[in-house]
Amino acid sequence: MRNNNRRAAFLNGMQDGIPIALGYFAVSFSLGIAARSVGLSPMQGFLASALCNASAGEYALFTLIGAKAALWEIVLVTLIANARYFLMSCALSQRFSPETPFFHRLLIGNYITDEFFGISVAREGWLKPAYYYGAVAVAAPCWAVGTALGIRLGLLLSPRIVSALSVALYGMFLAVIIPPAKRDRAVACCVAAGFLCSWAFGAIPALKTISAGTRTILLTVGLSAAAALLFPIREEASHAE
């Protein structure tokens, strides 16, 4: 019975991972073009995407490689660009059952991205590791293969076509946030505030200079703290859920 539950969770994860895989392929294809411009081979691009599951961090990596930056500079900038995943890891760790073995948490921690985090926190009840593995099994290979193909074939396609392919990611995010926002007014307020604050960071001159990674961290911490103060969840209700 337990194996059947794991299999069902894994298949559900694979199903939810399909739109992520399509978006990943398009975005990594664009990254492959950037990797090609700094002299990386398809195999090097494949390994870079297989080991670094972050678009902003990987783009920074390719940019620094092209600038012939020192190794410590590459490590530091990549760490800063991906710092938001520390927050996601802390939040996601609370969605697993206390009986979840440490090795599952360790493996899943290596594949925390915005998209995997989004579909995981939208699940009701405890998050099953098998569900997460199913999503990763579909999407992660597309990320690595897309980068390699972008290096090999990227210049054959127009930038408009490559950009249009990435629309799948935005559709996936809308599918994640709209249903809970319709059910819960607090979630709807947080989503609206997130859109408004993101627009403000991109429109106000004094805030436009803040990097995307730092902006995400500031908005995540600020909006989460405000939501916790304005819409607190009673401990009894949290355990019941």
* pLDDT confidence band for 205 (50 / 70 / 90): confident
Burial of 98 (0-12, 13-18, 19+ CB in 10 A): exposed
Percent of the chain past pLDDT 70, that is, above it, reads 84
Segment 93-98 shows an average pLDDT of 86
Contacts of 168 (CB under 8 A, 6+ apart): 19, 22, 23, 26
pLDDT digits (tens, 9 = 90+) for 206-239: 787 876 667 766 777 788 788 878 877 665 444 4
**Contact yes or no for 137/15 (Cβ under 8 A):** no
pTM assigned to the model: 0.68
SS3 48: helix
Domain spans of the chain, in order of start: 2-166, 184-241
